[in-house]
Structure 1
């Protein structure tokens, strides 16, 4: 690998690139012709490949959604609304709201089939600065908090059987949580195919765990244990603050329905598979979540749920104690699936943003052999470990929900704006414009209520968001002096050599050089020169 002049990215010699491409073509598994056509075989160029079909779409979304949320958020919702009836109702509300949001994202993903998800949609509607602020909230708060919360849930469920009479040590939880994140990042760096296969297997395990809980709960309910559902709305907290905060907990549990939009460039036939995968997944998850919570409340009172750090384990200890050591393992595996899907999807957002000069350029590079955005994945790992060091995970979840609501307001309002600025844009799915208008107003109302009810969490979140302004100016708009730029170039060159990564732009330039050489060999250079 050679180092280019200052201010330019280091490049890989063309002979090395040619050798790598030949190895890729020889090692590439031969699929049937239809799948090869859909996957967009592009002669071994260094870029992300189309290899995610409809089955993968469904397994990725369900695998992301059914993560730690269903095993943590029942506590968060019950803590605020304080009754069985209101808890189940809030699960239905969160599911219905997620369904409406997913419909809007399905329209955006089908008419703007580019990786990057909401970042791309906001940039198209509102411009460069708004897109950067969306990225900033996702990069600093939303994604790290989501993965950190899930990793801590995983550690709790794994360690809980080893400490039956007390809570697991905090230090052990954090170390185990960091190890599982490192393992998933390593797999994502190695192969996308490995990730999708792992996600499908994990999705099966997590659905099996939830089905076991649902069956046990409904059998318990059928045996006459319905006392928890009598006067189910007694002592409910109907205040706007309690409802909005409990909604955040439920919405966190449904988080993941938008993540497939970050992978659009790698989805086969995205106009069809993207919206279809979103709708199948969100419908199935909403049904499973509501029935799972009914099963929980058939066995546990709201007070028992609030005093349990692992609701599913307490549930099984009360019903089928012999399974209390088996299902936690399945639950831990399901949480891994949520983290795995989040890491896969969000790394593409940061990869796309770095290509737009909104993150350090090294994050826009992919490995020349495995074709994965390794620098983006490693940066995610560092941020997640930092978030794991915070003590109160519910505090982080509320901050994450606040930032997510800001992003959703920008997305849905931008969707309305695009109807006016780009009326002729091809839309395979076209919803009534009243739907994104309603969703943007609803998210804005939730934001206002949260600022009033939770001023501390909102103030911290807004302060972090405000830091995005100087970051945008210094990182994207500031014309750096040569001394600083030289240091940045040296760091980029070192990291590029260390991880053996390159940018897609550099590879395209190298391909162009190869084309020129071929033109000379076949005697067509003169004709090509005349045409130019």
Structure 2
């Protein structure tokens, strides 16, 4: 029998102590990876938060103006809602077939290769994401400050400062905690829906008072030619954003279930909300008044809410803020995935060691947004218009990837598998929209293609050029090291595959 103080006992005790200590370390030190914080409810909040932005509050006049009649405009709202829902379900199949974050970028990368994938990432992140967020931040500032400057112009420096602070606040939220960002999305979505419910209730009250004259002869003067196509195009953009949840697939709990459910619930709810809100608007405003209004919800409130009308610009501001939050949340993941694949700087694929958020990619998104915000204040709407053709081309590529996967890789597990005619029909319709856009706006479409191709020099320098001079590579490495030390970030521990 050994003594309590014998060597073997000491070693055993040390081993036990070491095991205990290592156990404590494992428990206290979380894995460096993005957490799965997004469930069905958060997914619904994110989609509603992105889609229900300024459009339904500010300018739902587009469809009415193009279709030339109240009756046809409602048909187009319903048709574009169904089309968007089917497109989103196709994306749900893509997201469950390739369960990776990054949206269209990762699907094109897997199916078509690195060059087209990089160009998709370039236009999605730089042009669509950063430019749209910059434009929304300035619009947010306008609606926040307008109630404070009744009867006079809001000073430009104050608009810029408010826009800057809104972007900074959203970047801070998204850097601190993913759950905080998703909770913000849910809270804001509730506020948006509540505002639209208020509008709907007031509108239906007017219906009850017999205000139905705007719906008499509702199809009179309808434009069934080019106007129908233009109205569809306007409606499609009103639903833009349904693809953004696919940028967050890896952070979803049980994505094979949560992604399709969140998409179906949110798109169904949004379609109903859009149709009923437009019914309410037209119960109070004539078609001419609706088309002439710069902010329909504000005009509606001024006619119906009396002294309480001042809250409507604030609701519009909240709606825009929610869209910005969704864009920062989603687009930062595009940069994160692109960096992991070697298409963006390495530092953007790192995770905060303390917060477990993609802090560098969030801050990079914020910086790009602020650059556009400050340099192109008066051209942002035009820049967004220029990306229209590229955006439709990206959707077309994604649906094409779905069809290629069906043909070449039928063996891949799919928790959601749509009847094949659905993606084929969507591919045909999207191709038709791209052709119409090219014919209707050839100059803007060609410029849009040129904007996409501006990514080529960055691709060849950053991706293709492997043997860079040691001095240049050393500077890149020092920059990555600085970002790591300054932000306390590390590469993600688990592979994304």
* TM-score normalised to structure 2 length: 0.88
Distance 1:497 1:44, change over 3 A: same
277, 280, 283: which one pairs with 1:295? Answer: 280
Residue 246 (structure 1) shift: 4.0
What's the CA shift string for 1:64-87, capped at 9, x where partnerless? 222223223414434444443343
Distance 1:401 1:161, change over 3 A: same
Task: Please give the alpha-carbon distance, in whole angstroms, between the structure 2 residues aligned to 1:291 and 1:430.
Answer: 32
Question: Helix, strand or coil for the counterpart of 2:310?
Answer: coil
Task: Please give the alpha-carbon distance, in whole angstroms, between the structure 2 residues aligned to 1:68 and 1:149.
Answer: 11
Task: Please give the alpha-carbon distance, in whole angstroms, between the structure 2 residues aligned to 1:303 and 1:169.
Answer: 31
The answer to whether the 8 A contact 2:67-2:73 is kept is: yes
Task: Please give the alpha-carbon distance, in whole angstroms, between the structure 2 residues aligned to 1:314 and 1:320.
Answer: 10
**Residue correspondence of structure 1 range 97-496 to structure 2 within 5 A:** 97-166=83-152, 168-240=154-226, 242-388=227-373, 389-391=376-378, 394-479=381-466, 480-496=468-484
The answer to whether the 8 A contact 1:244-1:450 is kept is: no
Task: Please give the alpha-carbon distance, in whole angstroms, between the structure 2 residues aligned to 1:454 and 1:468.
Answer: 22
The answer to whether the 8 A contact 1:248-1:401 is kept is: no
Structure 2 residue aligned with 1:524? none
Pick which of 407-416 and 169-178 moved more: 169-178
Task: Please give the alpha-carbon distance, in whole angstroms, between the structure 2 residues aligned to 1:90 and 1:174.
Answer: 36
Pick which of 162-171 and 99-108 moved more: 162-171
Residue 428 (structure 1) shift: 1.3
Structure 2 residue aligned with 1:85? 71
Distance 1:146 1:106, change over 3 A: same
Task: Please give the alpha-carbon distance, in whole angstroms, between the structure 2 residues aligned to 1:204 and 1:25.
Answer: 37
The answer to whether the 8 A contact 2:188-2:318 is kept is: yes
Structure 2 residue aligned with 1:45? 31
Structure 1 residue aligned with 2:11? none
Distance 1:272 1:154, change over 3 A: same
Task: Please give the alpha-carbon distance, in whole angstroms, between the structure 1 residues aligned to 2:247 and 2:344.
Answer: 16
Residue 502 (structure 1) shift: 1.8
* TM-score normalised to structure 1 length: 0.83
Aligned positions, number: 471
Residue 167 (structure 1) shift: 5.2
The answer to whether the 8 A contact 1:405-1:443 is kept is: yes
Gaps of 5+ in 2: 1-20
Gaps of 5+ in 1: 1-18, 27-42, 509-532
What's the CA shift string for 1:13-34, capped at 9, x where partnerless? xxxxxx9x979955xxxxxxxx
Task: Please give the alpha-carbon distance, in whole angstroms, between the structure 2 residues aligned to 1:216 and 1:163.
Answer: 27
Distance 1:356 1:267, change over 3 A: same
Pick which of 82-91 and 219-228 moved more: 82-91
